[in-house]
Amino acid sequence: MAVTAPGVDAVTPQDPVAGSAEASPRRLRMRLLSNRKVAVGLVILAVFLLIAIIGPLIAPYDPSRRSADILQGPSAKHWFGTTHIGQDIFSQVLDGTRSVMFVGFFAGVVATIVAVLFGVTSGYLGGAGGEGLSAVSNVFLVIPALPLIIIITTAIPTGGDWVVALVIGLTSWAWGARVLRAQTLSLRRRDFVEAARATGEPVWRIVIFEILPNLTAIIASSFVGTVIYAVMTEVALAFIGVQGLYEWNWGAILYWAQSQEALAIGAWWWFVPAGLAIALLGTALSLLNFGIDELVNPRLRSSGSAAVRDYSGRRVRLRVGFTPVLARGAGPVPAHATEIQSADIQVEDGAR
Amino acid sequence: MTTLSETASPAGGATDVVLEAEELTKHFPVRRRLRAAFSGERPAVHAVDDVALLLRRGRVTALVGESGSGKSTVARLLAQLYPRTGGAIRLHGAETTVRGGRRFRAYSGKVQMIFQDPFASLNPVHTVRYHLTRALRVHDRVGRGRAETEAALADLLAKVQLTPPQRYIDKFPHELSGGQRQRVAIARALAAGPEALLADEPVSMLDVSIRLGILNLLRDLKEQMDLAILYITHDIASARYFADETQVMYAGRMVEGGDSESVTQQPAHPYTRLLIDSAPDPDRLAAQAGGADPDQSASLDEGTGEVASLIHPPSGCRFHPRCPHAMQVCTAQVPPRFEVAGVTSRGADESGRPAHWAACWLYSPEHAGDAAGAAA
Amino acid sequence: MRYFAQRLVFYVFTAWAAVTINFFVPRLTPGNPVDSLIAEYQGQISTQAVHSLTVLFGLDKQQGIFQQYISYLGQLARGDLGISFHSFPTPVSSVLAQSLPWTVCLVGVATVLSFAIGTLLGVIVGWRRGSLADMLMPITTFFASIPYFWLALLAIAAFTGVGSFLPSAGGYDPGLVPGWNGAFVASALKHSLLPAATIIVTSVAGWLMGMRNMVVTVSSEDYVTVAHAKGLSERRVMLGYAARNAMLPSVSGFGMALGLVVGGTFLVEYVFSYPGVGLELVSAIGQKDYPLMQGIFLVITLSVLAANFLADLAYMALDPRTRREG
């Protein structure tokens, strides 16, 4: 018969295209951190988390304590100034961080859990059960969440942060569920799920250990998105005066600022810090989300603004569909230019 | 010259039957358009109709067909990944129907499958170690303690010639080449200690230079472990190289079968002849260039050339729209299997060797003469 | 056609679900303030109004729940949403009829504008990889994270005040009578500039990022390369091939955003005292005006559905794959 060639491809050196070094958990984390945007986002987030934990302890004053220093601008004594009844705004901001972070993350967790339950189950089941679950999540998707939240929280005024977080979480899961369902549907048809079945794995193991790990990026992104949304919603609710005003969340600060017409009387310091804090937190979370997006879809990474010169020394602007000639013959190619060029022709994992 | 019964009993006990399919049928229901819902008809994709297969210990049976012929469906039906519409599947002679749970696990411990796409069949987030350990664990072959597990893993990798095992055990699928991944998939199938291996186009997505290595690996494994292998492919040439027995499928039905040498060298069914002739053959091309009859192959496919629709398959023999020798009876009745006369090639003393048959009216006793003329 | 029918069925089903939720919510909340309010206003409400409120809020304990549901549906079909308490005795439907156009005009136009600007910028940013187009990302992210009521208040502080061009509150000059005359329309436009601008600034970023991501993904597809190879001008390829395909998810998102027009931006109205539906909702909540709250919620839900349905129609027109039969 023919000459056998055992182990030829067993000793073949690894295919460089196939080994794009992405999915190993260790390398994944390092990749995430090395992205500058993500690193910045994480640092800011960490600061906020720290403040949430120790804020009330390090606040110089009791945020509700009145004093005689009425409507003072920022000073050494009051870093962010004071309110119309002499309360220290800096302490209020510090104190409010805890409530905001708690509601944001708790709502995020609730919403993500529900989204995973509904989305993955409906995607994996298919058939009537799957369609039914999908219909439920579509209904929740279309019903406007904010008015519903307002109505419910008005009906249950004495709930505190838990209730608000729960309500926000239970009304904002639908979008994540929809995305997860679509992804699960496409994953379910992949061969490795069938292979796992053929190996004899039970259904629950397939869902948890085969399908879910492939969804981590989407789940993480959905979680971060929900946290952003929950923070914004909670602040908005407090600003309108819907939520209880016993705890100093940032929206409450703005509520008082608005009702006392802070801007009209020129007390900008009452107004600015809380808003900036919200914007910073939102930005940090969004940057984190971008990082996750770019990790999953390497094409999205910005190629930076390194100047690229072609072989004749002219500056070249990289754009879609255009491949500049960077070097001729056996000349050396500048290292960074190769990097940029490979970003244009990056091969996606799994492409042969 | 007589029709064969569907289940050929082996003459001797040397090669006993591991897995057997009889009258295997699978129809997939198709979503009906609103208007059709009222007319009462229920369209279905007739993916597999009346398929009979025998897998014997230590033998390779090839199932050859084009895309859409239903061969992958046959593999999944044999692996019992989804329920069949009709027919019987017998493991060691005992009929089995398993839907899930413990019985399915027991069945999958005997019958394992290898998939076509080596990248898609391995979960990209799990290492080789995870894949193999899970397969061992599900079938209780993982041993006690880490040392035994490591030994079992090393043993599996050695069987598929991925040595040294430390080099591959902790890699992710995307870090391996196509051939390596397929070896891992084979190792995963072997972890269950199966008796039958259903290989669904195991080399179709690999580079041509690597295919031989994988096929040789499968053959070595078959001999070492006395496996029964079902080799599904669209490439009839590799069937001749690798398989002992070849069956040809078209549009969900089996049209020809027999030992590989006979089927590929003296194809009886017009479809098989079409398959063989469509593979470029340097000798034939040279002969044509030298002035031999150029119309020989051109006249073979005079039909529409279109693949039969599986939702509304042609009546009678499903190949008749494309067949240059179609007769009246071909449009009316589905042909049963007829033994092909006078084409046994090798020595006739081997017992249990499958006879060469074709499901074609050309080989029925009434038309024996036409068959001889058409086989030129 | 199939796609259309599917979506239609879905929207009808959701509308029914929304109406039913609306039916159950007041019956589930503890206590029944409507009862006490009716008692308070005794004699001032017409019997007809009392009856409609009874149907809406389930005050008639003798009727079975199913019977209540039927009467509720019937009443809704007649367009009777009860009487608003805090702008007593105006019926809820006329309160809504008055305020809805303001909201739709202001926020609708602002949403359309931010969608248009954001998507166009997104296409450009996505097309030109590298360079300072990518610097735009963190900046727009920051702006997107700013709560717009905060931005709105700052804008008021910065741009309005005594003697400035832009007014700080209201939908139109208090002295004018609403009508289709030049002075009124001009005043209305002037009053809508600042609110619209703040909405646009904070929502452009979202469209921009979404579109950019899609354009980046699409521009590596083979058909774009073929278009280039055919020799088409860059702008043609960018707009006619890449943008056309990349736009599809944005269109779906736009449908949802339009839906949010009525429901989500009442903060803006609150800050600017703009006489739209959102403002009514806020005051209704403050005054515990349940009939108005319910009515507004229902209207918001139904307009979200309508907007989404329109977006689906647009999607159907844009994406030929949905028109495939069977």
Model confidence over B301-358: pLDDT tens digits?
555 567 778 888 888 888 888 888 888 888 888 898 888 865 444 433 344 556 889 9
Question: Which residues of chain B lie closer than 8 angstroms to A199, CB-CB?
Answer: 108, 134-135, 138, 188, 192
Query: Residue by residue, what is the 3-state secondary structure of A149-205?
Result: HHHHHHHCCCCCHHHHHHHHHHHCCHHHHHHHHHHHHHHHCCHHHHHHHHHCCCHHH
Residues C200 and C147 in one domain: yes
Please give the helix or strand (H or E) that residue B47 lies within, else none.
Answer: strand B44-56
Residue C245 within any structural domain of the chain = yes
Question: Which residues of chain B lie closer than 8 angstroms to C6, CB-CB?
Answer: none
Which among B81, B125, B156 is the top mutation candidate for probing chain A, defined by the most A β-carbons within 10 Å of its own β-carbon? B125
How many whole angstroms separate alpha carbon C82 and alpha carbon C105?
Answer: 26
- Does the structure show a pLDDT above 60 at B283? yes
Residues C32 and C172 in one domain: no
Question: Which residues of chain C lie closer than 8 angstroms to A300, CB-CB?
Answer: 213, 216-217
How many whole angstroms separate alpha carbon B299 and alpha carbon B308?
Answer: 20
* B36 in contact with C, Cβ within 8 Å: no
How many whole angstroms separate alpha carbon C245 and alpha carbon A282?
Answer: 30
Question: Which residues of chain A lie closer than 8 angstroms to C21, CB-CB?
Answer: 143
Residues C115 and C73 in one domain: no
Return the percentage of chain C with pLDDT > 70, whole number.
74
Residues C166 and C22 in one domain: no
pLDDT on residue B36: 53
Which of A297-311, B159-173, B319-333, C10-24 has the highest mean predicted lDDT (pLDDT)? B159-173
Residues A20 and A42 in one domain: no
| Contact across the interface for A14 and B177, Cβ inside 8 Å | yes
Under 8 Å CB-to-CB from A83, ≥6 apart: which residues?
A: A70, A71, A89, A92, A256, A257, A260, A270
Residues C244 and C201 in one domain: yes
Q: What's the farthest any 2 CA atoms get from each other in chain B? A: 71
The gap from C-alpha A323 to its chain's centroid, in whole angstroms, comes to: 34
Residues C63 and C137 in one domain: no
B226: tokens are: 């006395």
* For range C184-196, the mean pLDDT: 78
Residue type, position B302, single letter: E
- From B38's Cα to the closest Cα of chain C, the distance in A is 16
* For range A215-230, the mean pLDDT: 87
Of C213, C234, C263, Cβ closest to residue A147: C263
Q: Which residues pair with B233 in a beta bridge?
A: B64
- Does the structure show a pLDDT above 50 at C46? yes
Under 8 Å CB-to-CB from B38, ≥6 apart: which residues?
A: none
Average pLDDT, chain B: 82
Residues C202 and C247 in one domain: yes
pLDDT on residue A115: 92
- CA nearest B342: which of B363, B322, B319, B361? B363
How many whole angstroms separate alpha carbon B138 and alpha carbon B131?
Answer: 11
Chains with at least 3 CB pairs less than 8 angstroms from chain C: A, B
Residues C30 and C103 in one domain: no
Using the Cα atoms of residue A334, residue A340, residue A341 and residue A342 in order, give the sign of their dihedral. Answer: positive
Residue C83 within any structural domain of the chain = no
pLDDT on residue A339: 42
Q: How confident is the model at residue B183 (pLDDT cuts 50, 70, 90)?
A: very high
Chains with at least 3 CB pairs less than 8 angstroms from chain A: B, C
CA angle A36, A38, A43 (to 5 degrees): 95
How many whole angstroms separate alpha carbon C253 and alpha carbon C118?
Answer: 13
* C127 in contact with A, Cβ within 8 Å: yes
How many whole angstroms separate alpha carbon B371 and alpha carbon B363?
Answer: 6
pLDDT on residue A25: 56
- Does the structure show a pLDDT above 80 at C112? yes
Distances (CA, A) of A73 to A67, A253, B10, B133, C155: 14, 16, 100, 67, 20
Q: Which residues pair with A309 in a beta bridge?
A: A315
C273: tokens are: 């005292």
Length of chain A: 352
Chain C nearest-CA residue for A282 = C145
Query: A179 or C53, which is more confident?
Result: A179
- Does the structure show a pLDDT above 80 at C234? yes
Residues A140 and A285 in one domain: yes
Q: Which residues pair with A88 in a beta bridge?
A: A82
B332: tokens are: 């009316």
pLDDT tens for A64-80 read 777 777 777 777 777 77
Residues A112 and A194 in one domain: yes
* C145 in contact with A, Cβ within 8 Å: yes
Q: Which residues of A touch B (CB under 8 A)?
A: 2, 4-10, 12, 14-15, 18-24, 190-192, 194-203, 210, 213-214, 349-350, 352
Chain A nearest-CA residue for B198 = A198
Chain B nearest-CA residue for A204 = B101
Number of domains in chain C: 2
Residue type, position B203, single letter: V
Chain A nearest-CA residue for C141 = A283
Q: Is B52 strand, coil or helix?
A: strand
Chains with at least 3 CB pairs less than 8 angstroms from chain B: A, C
**10 Å Cβ neighbour count for C278?**
27
Please give the helix or strand (H or E) that residue C280 lies within, else none.
Answer: helix C277-286
How many whole angstroms separate alpha carbon C131 and alpha carbon A305?
Answer: 4
- CA nearest B253: which of B73, B125, B120, B28? B73
| Contact across the interface for A299 and C217, Cβ inside 8 Å | yes
Residue C212 within any structural domain of the chain = yes
Residues A92 and A164 in one domain: yes
Residues C112 and C164 in one domain: yes
Residues A293 and A335 in one domain: no
pLDDT on residue B195: 93
* A138 in contact with C, Cβ within 8 Å: yes
- From A131's Cα to the closest Cα of chain B, the distance in A is 15
Question: Which residues of chain B lie closer than 8 angstroms to A8, CB-CB?
Answer: 210, 213
How many whole angstroms separate alpha carbon C61 and alpha carbon C66?
Answer: 12
Residues A44 and A7 in one domain: no
The gap from C-alpha A274 to its chain's centroid, in whole angstroms, comes to: 21
Contact map slice: A 196-235 vs C, CB within 8 A: 228, 232, 235
| Contact across the interface for B174 and A23, Cβ inside 8 Å | yes
Of C129, C137, C228, Cβ closest to residue A318: C129
| Contact across the interface for A321 and C225, Cβ inside 8 Å | yes
Distances (CA, A) of A256 to A30, A125, A270, A271, A274: 44, 50, 9, 9, 12
The enclosing domain of A271 has a CATH number of 1.10.3720.10
Chain B nearest-CA residue for C5 = B34
Question: Which residues of chain B lie closer than 8 angstroms to A23, CB-CB?
Answer: 124-125, 172, 174
A257: tokens are: 């600022």
| Contact across the interface for A144 and C142, Cβ inside 8 Å | no
The gap from C-alpha A299 to its chain's centroid, in whole angstroms, comes to: 19
* C8 in contact with A, Cβ within 8 Å: no
| Range B66-83 burial, b when 16+ CB lie within 10 A, else e | eebbbbbbbbbbbbbbee
Residues C68 and C119 in one domain: no
Of A239, A279, A320, Cβ closest to residue C127: A320
| Contact across the interface for A9 and B174, Cβ inside 8 Å | no
How many whole angstroms separate alpha carbon A297 and alpha carbon C214?
Answer: 11
Contact B131, B122 (CB under 8 A): yes
Question: Alpha-carbon Rg of chain A, whole angstroms?
Answer: 27
Domain limits at A142? Answer: 35-304
Under 8 Å CB-to-CB from A50, ≥6 apart: which residues?
A: none
| Contact across the interface for A142 and C225, Cβ inside 8 Å | no
Q: How confident is the model at residue A34 (pLDDT cuts 50, 70, 90)?
A: low
Domain limits at C238? Answer: 92-323
State pTM to two decimals.
0.74
| Contact across the interface for A154 and C263, Cβ inside 8 Å | no
Number of domains in chain A: 2
Question: Which residues of chain B lie closer than 8 angstroms to C5, CB-CB?
Answer: 34
pLDDT on residue B132: 94
pLDDT on residue B189: 94
ipTM for the whole predicted complex goes beyond 0.95: no
Which among A227, A276, A286, A287 is the top mutation candidate for probing chain C, defined by the most C β-carbons within 10 Å of its own β-carbon? A286
Question: Which residues of chain C lie closer than 8 angstroms to B34, CB-CB?
Answer: 2, 5
Chain C nearest-CA residue for B36 = C326
pLDDT on residue A166: 87
* For range B68-97, the mean pLDDT: 89
- CA nearest A257: which of A270, A243, A266, A246? A270
Helix A174-188 and helix A216-240, axial crossing angle in degrees, nearest 10: 170
Please give the helix or strand (H or E) that residue B6 lies within, else none.
Answer: none
pLDDT on residue B155: 93
Which among A186, A192, A206 is the top mutation candidate for probing chain B, defined by the most B β-carbons within 10 Å of its own β-carbon? A192
C204: tokens are: 């452009």
pLDDT tens for A77-111 read 777 777 777 788 888 888 888 888 888 999 999 99
* DSSP symbol at B375: T
- Does the structure show a pLDDT above 80 at A315? no
- From A185's Cα to the closest Cα of chain B, the distance in A is 15
Q: Which residue has the tokens 């429901």?
A: C263
Q: Is C152 strand, coil or helix?
A: helix
- Does the structure show a pLDDT above 70 at A39? yes
Residues A351 and A314 in one domain: yes
How many whole angstroms separate alpha carbon B350 and alpha carbon B347?
Answer: 7
Residue C228 within any structural domain of the chain = yes
| Contact across the interface for A143 and C304, Cβ inside 8 Å | yes
Pairing label, strands B245-250, B253-259:
antiparallel
Residues C143 and C277 in one domain: yes
Question: Which residues of chain C lie closer than 8 angstroms to B33, CB-CB?
Answer: 2, 326
How many whole angstroms separate alpha carbon B95 and alpha carbon B19?
Answer: 10
**10 Å Cβ neighbour count for C197?**
17
Contact B126, A213 (CB under 8 A): yes
Average pLDDT, chain A: 74
* For range C24-39, the mean pLDDT: 64
| Range B288-323 burial, b when 16+ CB lie within 10 A, else e | eeeeeeeeebeebbeeeeeebebeebeebbbbbbbb
- From C92's Cα to the closest Cα of chain A, the distance in A is 17
Using the Cα atoms of residue A88, residue A93, residue A95 and residue A99 in order, give the sign of their dihedral. Answer: positive
Question: Which residues of chain A lie closer than 8 angstroms to C297, CB-CB?
Answer: 144, 147-148, 151
* DSSP symbol at B309: P
The enclosing domain of C241 has a CATH number of 1.10.3720.10
pLDDT tens for C69-94 read 787 777 777 777 777 766 666 777 78
pLDDT on residue B34: 56
Q: HSE (CB half, 13 Å, CA atoms) of A261?
A: 3
| Contact across the interface for A279 and C142, Cβ inside 8 Å | yes
Question: Which residues of chain B lie closer than 8 angstroms to A189, CB-CB?
Answer: none
- From B307's Cα to the closest Cα of chain A, the distance in A is 25
Residues C30 and C109 in one domain: no
Question: Which residues of chain B lie closer than 8 angstroms to C2, CB-CB?
Answer: 33-34
Chain B nearest-CA residue for C325 = B33
Residue C82 within any structural domain of the chain = no
Q: Which residue has the tokens 């219909």?
A: A135
Lowest mean pLDDT among A48-57, A278-287, C250-259: C250-259
- CA nearest B121: which of B171, B173, B85? B173
